[in-house]
Amino acid sequence: MNSFWAEIFFVIAVSIVAGLTSWFFFSAFWAIVVVVLVLSLFTAHHFYQLTRLMRWLRQPVGTPLPKGGGAWEDVFAELHRRSREAAEERNSMKTALERFRHAGQALPDGVVILDSNQVIEWFNTTAEHHFGLSRDKDVGSRITNLLREPTFVSYIGAGQYADPLLLHPVRESGRTLALQIVSYGDAQSLLLSRDITQLEKLETMRRDFVANVSHELKTPLTVVSGFIETLLDDLSDLSEEEAKHFLGLAHEQAQRMQRLIMDLLMLSALETGSPPPTEERVALDDLLAEVTDEAMTLSKGRHQIVPTGTNGAGLLGSRNELRSALGNLVTNAIRYTPAGGTIRISWQTDDDGSGVFSVSDNGIGIENHHLPRLTERFYRVDRGRSRESGGTGLGLAIVKHVLTRHQAVLKIQSELSHGSTFSAQFPAHRVTHGAISKTS
Ligand code: ADP
């Protein structure tokens, strides 16, 4: 028997006993008065408990439930159990929501939750940066009131979200965002944004590179095929001397293409995940002698070439790569220095153990504004002059890559019409001291 029925029986029993007793000792009137009094006390008790319950219901969710008396004890206990269960459910939902929010915040992409009227309900930090949103002001605003770019407004209005929209936000020039709307639930949607600026830059670089290579190959190829056609058509009419002249010119162009291909192969080997340089001990005396010989061959006696000793210092790295990088600096000095000029090739070990390989010339020099771009692929100050002297436009790009792989940096100082100094600065851990046996 629960407390409700117990209380009913108790009240009936008390009323009967009190009524009968009053009737027996006094009169029927007093019996009725006593029964009414007992029932009123009983009603007042229930009214009191009901009032406590009503007061509790008006309190904020989570307020502890008061303890009920009599029959209300069960009611209050049941309510207490249910309220505890609801609180636990609320807590687990809150935890799940928090977890979802944290996951949303951690996404590298921007996420904006929109309701069926495209009003912002929530967004993560990345979206905040992408769209310049403010957490305090913009939740509850229509997305099209904040992102007013016409392309976006018509994209969101069209309702066709199979393809992403590429957006160049006006407020941040140079940035490219890929936007995509994903519908879910009851007409709600997610606006996802991804910063593809870097990707676009790479794509532009790739396109430029292909265009440049094609252009670089097209010119000599046209010349070579022109000469071959001439030889085929007029071989019998040409003297041996004329034929030799044409073949010589064709050979020159073929060599130019070969140089370009070799440089491209070298660059791609350096760029596309080839293994890091072998840690060879490269004797700088030998390296200096080799690049000096190369410079002399190229100069054909037109320049004064001054190498400075290295005191037996050496470098740890890839001999082939270092040979190619330092050789490029020296051949550039010859190619961009008019006859009669002086080229100085030197090595200097600093007190902190680091070392600098420098090539100085007193040639044509370079205007300051070109300096930051010289190591870009195919960047030339004077395209005609570079081609004339057998340049591919890739030399300094190769130098930069090789040096980076050896933790070294390229420094360029130059003054127009006065000359240039290209210095490769190697960190101490790459520099060795004392004599090194010759490596081949
Ligand atoms: P290129 O094959 O055209 O020489 P590089 O990448 O080696 O290509 O050099 C890029 C550009 O830097 C050259 O076209 C030239 O304009 C400039 N440059 C490089 N070295 C020198 C130098 N020693 N003196 C003057 N200009 C130079």
Q: Tens of pLDDT along 76-110?
A: 888 889 988 988 999 999 999 899 889 988 999 99
pLDDT of amino acid 440: 39
Looking from the CA of residue 375, the nearest atom of ligand 1 is: 6
Task: Determine if ligand 1 sits within 6 Å of the CB of residue 363.
Answer: yes
223 with 249: CB under 8 angstroms? Answer: yes
User: Which tens digit of pLDDT belongs to each residue from 171-211?
Assistant: 777 889 999 999 988 889 999 999 999 999 999 989 999 99
Question: Could you tell me the distance, in angstroms and rounded to a whole number, from the CA of residue 387 to the centre of ligand 1?
Answer: 10
Would you say the CATH fold of 280-432 matches that of 107-195? no
Tokens for 223, please give them: 């010349």
pLDDT of amino acid 118: 92
User: Which tens digit of pLDDT belongs to each residue from 256-306?
Assistant: 999 999 999 999 888 876 666 678 899 999 999 999 999 999 999 999 999
User: Which tens digit of pLDDT belongs to each residue from 337-373?
Assistant: 999 999 999 999 999 999 999 999 999 999 999 999 9
363 with 383: CB under 8 angstroms? Answer: no
Question: Could you tell me the distance, in angstroms and rounded to a whole number, from the CA of residue 175 to the centre of ligand 1?
Answer: 32
DSSP H or E run through 57: helix 28-57
Tokens for 114, please give them: 């929109």
Q: Where are the domains of the chain?
A: 2-99, 107-195, 200-271, 280-432
Helix-strand-coil split of the chain, %, nearest 5: 55, 15, 30
User: Residue-wise over 86-118: b if at least 16 C-beta within 10 A, else e?
Assistant: eeeeeeeeeeeeeeeeeebeeeebbbbbbeeeb
pLDDT of amino acid 6: 83
Task: Determine if ligand 1 sits within 6 Å of the CB of residue 381.
Answer: yes
Task: Determine if ligand 1 sits within 6 Å of the CB of residue 410.
Answer: no
- What is the average pLDDT across 30-57? 90
pLDDT of amino acid 438: 46
- What is the average pLDDT across 226-231? 87
The residue whose CB lies within 8 Å of the most ligand 1 atoms, and thus the one to mutate among 334, 371, 396, 399, is 396
Nearest residue to 176 (alpha-carbon basis) of 184, 185, 167, 187: 167
Q: How confident is the model at residue 398 (pLDDT cuts 50, 70, 90)?
A: very high
Q: How confident is the model at residue 439 (pLDDT cuts 50, 70, 90)?
A: very low
Looking from the CA of residue 386, the nearest atom of ligand 1 is: 3
Q: Hey, whose CA ends up nearest to atom 11 of ligand 1?
A: 380
pLDDT exceeds cutoff 70 at 231: yes
Query: What is the domain class of 200-271 according to CATH?
Result: mainly alpha
Task: Determine if ligand 1 sits within 6 Å of the CB of residue 333.
Answer: yes
Which one is predicted more confidently, 76 or 421? 421
Report the C-alpha gap between 268 and 203 in whole angstroms. Answer: 17
pLDDT exceeds cutoff 80 at 167: yes
pLDDT of amino acid 222: 93
Q: How confident is the model at residue 1 (pLDDT cuts 50, 70, 90)?
A: low
Average pLDDT, the chain: 90
In this structure, which topology does domain 107-195 adopt according to CATH? Beta-Lactamase (3.30.450)
**Would you say domain 280-432 falls under CATH 3.30.565.10?**
yes
Residues 6+ apart with CB under 8 A from 317: 277, 278, 279, 280, 282, 405, 406, 430
Residue with tokens 């057998």: 390
pLDDT of amino acid 276: 66
- Say whether pTM exceeds 0.85: no
pLDDT of amino acid 219: 87
The residue whose CB lies within 8 Å of the most ligand 1 atoms, and thus the one to mutate among 216, 298, 366, 418, is 366
pLDDT of amino acid 130: 93
User: Residue-wise over 412-425: b if at least 16 C-beta within 10 A, else e?
Assistant: bebeeeebbbbbbb
pLDDT of amino acid 437: 45
pLDDT of amino acid 273: 63
